[in-house]
Amino acid sequence: MEGDVPSPINLPQGCPFAGRCRYATEECHNNKPELKEVQKGHFVACHHPRIK
């Protein structure tokens, strides 16, 4: 990933990867994603997971 890693003591409001993710949307910048199972035994915390 490109870009700067956010400060662990001053995390952004939404997803901590939003500033460095090419797929980030306004939702990502404003809301922290919840952990969800996208495949059996595979969990992600992302508003827009890409499963192949």
Q: For 38, phi and psi rounded to 5 degrees?
A: -105, -20
**Burial class of residue 15 (count of CB atoms within 10 Å of its CB; 0-12, 13-18, 19+):** buried
Calculate the CA 12 to chain-centre distance.
Answer: 11
What is the number of domains present in the chain? 1
Per residue in 7-29, pLDDT (tens digit) is: 778 777 899 899 889 899 999 99
State residue 6's pLDDT score. 73
Range of the domain at 12: 1-52
Is the pLDDT at 1 greater than 90, yes or no? Answer: no
State residue 40's pLDDT score. 95
How high is the mean pLDDT of the chain? 87
